Structure 1
Amino acid sequence: MINWRTALLPPALAIVFSMLLSSVALLISGANPLEAFGTMAAQLLHGNTAVATVNLAIVYYLAGLAAAIGFQMNVFNIGVEGQYRFAAVVAAIVGAAMKLPPVLHVIVILVVAMFSGALYALLPALLKVYRGVSEVITTIMLNSIVFGIVAFLINPEQFGVLHGNNVSTEQIAPSGRIPGIPLGDAGTVFGFVVIAAALGYGYWFMLRRTRFGFELKASGESATAAAAGGVSAKKMTLAAMLISGAVAGLIAMPELLGRDYVYAMTSTQGYGFTGLAVALLGRNHPAGIAFGALLWSFLDRSAVSLESLGIPSEIATIMQGTIVLSVVVAYEIVRRADLAAQQRRVGRAGRNGSPATVAEGGAV
């Protein structure tokens, strides 16, 4: 049975707490919090800001899913950043080099991207499983290495071309692109939103309806207990890292196949790190991650509106940080309150001496 207090109270507390902290930051900067929040909300009605917010949220959602898969196994895959950048440049090079029918062309590019992302996650996965090396250390190192790999691959002497002062891969042919969803003057939503929604459902189905998902969560909660039940924690860790890397390989695909059609040195970075925050904000649930991605994207896109009030746009970054902090604190407070309430119910039931009541009082 769903505990609505546990499900709804933490997000509500987090929103209130983060708004209070953000208001303090705004007051210190000499701004009116109500005016600032109103201006940010009104920004959505200007031009194509709303569609741009949704498009950016699609990217953040994919990054959040990639991070959440690792979190289910208690694996902190910081390497999402390097995995998606490596996959993006490889997929862009392969996609530009191929001439295939429209649908097949897109499928091949996506498969290459997922395979490349999983490949870049393979080394830290193997080191963690067979040598006990922390995935945090190895993925941070690989994040640094990917900058050199990207620079090498899109060098004009390799697979890149020079466009003015910018270097990028060759342009992907129209057959390898994913058409967007036009909304008139409001802009065009990435067609990849359909694939992102399917991935979210697949993630939910895997965790809730498959044996693999059950074993994944069980291993993440207690490797010892899972091993007693015949589940190999090593295999689950390896699988979680590779699946996380494969999903990470898709992070840049909405922009690559829906807008840019090339991968350049100036392509946006940092999506992987944002995905970690979005996954934490969404508590690793696909619906929560979608909400977190939209909220994060909204703060990113509306931050520019603060400058019209003379408020530094960095205030939005403070808001993002306080939201994540607030969510963590709020869930911990509610978790401890629920645990204390359960202990009190069990204690009262025990004093009444009814085994059935004890069992009922201990149920979550």
Structure 2
Amino acid sequence: MRKFDKDRLILGFAGPALALVVAFVLTSVVLLVSGLSPIEPYQLMAEQVEFTDVQVNILNQSGIYYLAALAVAIGFRMNLFNIGVDGQYRLAVMLAAVVGASVELPGPLHVALIVLVAMLVGALWAGIAGILKTTRGVSEVVSTIMLNAIATSLIAWLILPANLGVQPKGSNDLTTGEIAESGWVPGLELEGGTIYGFTFVAFALGLVYWFVLNRTRFGFDLRATGASESAAQASGVDAKKMVMTAMLISGAVAGLAGMPMLLGQTHTYSLSFPVGVGFTAITIALLGRNSPIGIFFAAVLISFLEKTAEGLGLAGYPKEISIIMQGLIVIAVVVSYELVRQYGLRRQQQKVGEELAAQARKNREEVAA
């Protein structure tokens, strides 16, 4: 049985905790410089959580962010920076909505078809970056950024009424048509609203992510290749195959990010569908340290900042405070993790030195005896 490592646990919590403290302090400084109260905005945001509709909104948004952040984390584990999650998610949900609106099947089959299409589209779009990296050596950062832009333009063209889109009568919006009720996923009805049914699926996927990563050969190969590609190759792992597989899985999970809202609320894709989810997911994955539990709490935190910020405007505070905090969290995460890493190395060196010194003393005592 593995020995419990108290230092590792403390250092694991220290990075996110330090990042949050720094982000809150810097945000307070920004408020002070702006001539605003550095405390009241936090109180107002905390008061918003007392309302059940805000709680439901936070939980639903957390499910969406959780799936997108898992997609980012899969890439991070492989030392890949999949910035294209936003494009993969939007293109996947758009085409899944088109397919869902064009057929009528028995409930479970209809939902399964929509989900399968979303995963396939997300995987194929991410696979383009994977092919470019494994065959031509193109950085996934560059290719996924470009694929995001291409996805935006492609969606704008596909959703035109002349192509796959539908323009509701008396509206300027463009949609993909409404999915029949057999393709909806029922949610949990509460006083403040409905928790999307797919939100629970999203959190369950966190368990799958943990099991595959930590209890399977594939997960070991993934982590080993991400830690050292040359070492993984020396032990018989096909590094290029692992890069391609990781990109495909990351894209497939990104394709699921739009399912909670599509199957639980809108039942169609339109130009008003959320954008920027993939970029927020990068913050969440970093803050959660690619851990399913850490990502969950990070997703809840970011959702809390977004959903409670809407009440700040009524009190005369700019809602952009939430965006400032998210940006500062990203900067603080990078800095704090590096500080914690350096401290961890020094602590490890100190422990090794103490163990060597203790062993030397023991040897001297044995010789003297």
* 1:246 aligned partner, one-letter code: A
Deviates more, 1:194-203 or 1:165-174: 194-203
Corresponding residue of 2:287: 281
SS in structure 2 of the partner of residue 33 of structure 1: coil
CA contact (8 A) 1:14 1:323 kept: yes
CA contact (8 A) 2:63 2:200 kept: no
Q: Distance in 1 between matches of 2:21 and 2:122?
A: 38
Note the C-alpha offset of 1:159. Answer: 1.8
The C-alpha deviation readout for 1:218-263, integer Å capped at 9, x for no partner, is 0000001111111111111101100000001011111111000110
* Aligned partner of 1:206 among 208, 212, 222: 212
Q: Distance in 2 between matches of 1:111 and 1:85?
A: 15
* 1:279 aligned partner, one-letter code: A
The C-alpha deviation readout for 1:50-77, integer Å capped at 9, x for no partner, is 1111111111111100100001111111
* Aligned partner of 1:15 among 20, 24, 29: 20
The C-alpha deviation readout for 1:263-312, integer Å capped at 9, x for no partner, is 01221111111111111111100111111111111111111222233221
Note the C-alpha offset of 1:325. Answer: 2.2
SS in structure 1 of the partner of residue 354 of structure 2: helix
* Aligned partner of 1:191 among 197, 212, 229: 197
Q: How many residues are aligned here?
A: 356
CA contact (8 A) 1:96 1:170 kept: yes
Note the C-alpha offset of 1:97. Answer: 0.9
* 1:158 aligned partner, one-letter code: N
SS in structure 2 of the partner of residue 5 of structure 1: helix
Q: Distance in 2 between matches of 1:141 and 1:290?
A: 29
Structure 2 residue 141 is matched with structure 1 residue 136: yes
Q: Distance in 1 between matches of 2:315 and 2:203?
A: 37
Q: Distance in 2 between matches of 1:267 and 1:44?
A: 24
CA contact (8 A) 1:25 1:315 kept: no
Q: Which runs of 5+ in 1 are unaligned?
A: 358-364
SS in structure 2 of the partner of residue 182 of structure 1: strand
Superposition TM-score, scaled by structure 1 size: 0.94
SS in structure 2 of the partner of residue 149 of structure 1: helix
Q: Distance in 2 between matches of 1:239 and 1:356?
A: 51
SS in structure 1 of the partner of residue 197 of structure 2: coil
The C-alpha deviation readout for 1:3-57, integer Å capped at 9, x for no partner, is 3211222232222222111111111121212211100111122361111111111
Corresponding residue of 2:173: 166
Note the C-alpha offset of 1:354. Answer: 4.4
Q: Distance in 2 between matches of 1:147 and 1:348?
A: 57
* Aligned partner of 1:177 among 147, 163, 184: 184
CA contact (8 A) 1:10 1:330 kept: yes
Corresponding residue of 1:42: 47
SS in structure 1 of the partner of residue 39 of structure 2: helix
Q: Give the fraction of aligned pairs with identical amino acids, expressed as a percent.
A: 50
Q: Distance in 2 between matches of 1:121 and 1:19?
A: 35
Corresponding residue of 1:360: none
Corresponding residue of 1:259: 265
* 2:233 aligned partner, one-letter code: A
CA contact (8 A) 2:89 2:278 kept: yes
CA contact (8 A) 2:64 2:199 kept: no
SS in structure 1 of the partner of residue 48 of structure 2: helix
SS in structure 2 of the partner of residue 248 of structure 1: helix
CA contact (8 A) 1:91 1:110 kept: yes
Q: Distance in 2 between matches of 1:349 and 1:55?
A: 50
Q: Distance in 2 between matches of 1:64 and 1:154?
A: 27
SS in structure 2 of the partner of residue 197 of structure 1: helix
Query: Which aligned runs of 4 or more in structure 1 are off by greater than 6 angstroms?
Result: none
SS in structure 2 of the partner of residue 188 of structure 1: strand
CA contact (8 A) 1:86 1:150 kept: yes
Cα 1:355–1:92 change in 2 (3 A) is farther
Structure 2 residue 91 is matched with structure 1 residue 86: yes
Superposition TM-score, scaled by structure 2 size: 0.93
The C-alpha deviation readout for 1:190-217, integer Å capped at 9, x for no partner, is 1112211221111000111000000100
Structure 2 residue 154 is matched with structure 1 residue 154: no
Corresponding residue of 1:108: 113
Structure 2 residue 44 is matched with structure 1 residue 55: no
Q: Distance in 2 between matches of 1:285 and 1:74?
A: 15
CA contact (8 A) 2:67 2:257 kept: yes
Corresponding residue of 1:333: 339
Q: Distance in 1 between matches of 2:362 and 2:102?
A: 68
Q: Which runs of 5+ in 2 are unaligned?
A: 364-369
Q: Distance in 2 between matches of 1:167 and 1:101?
A: 27
* 2:302 aligned partner, one-letter code: W
User: Residues 65-84 of structure 1 correspond to what in structure 2 (within 5 A)?
Assistant: 65-84=70-89
CA contact (8 A) 1:84 1:251 kept: yes
Q: Distance in 2 between matches of 1:173 and 1:123?
A: 32
CA contact (8 A) 1:29 1:311 kept: no
Q: Distance in 1 between matches of 2:41 and 2:157?
A: 44
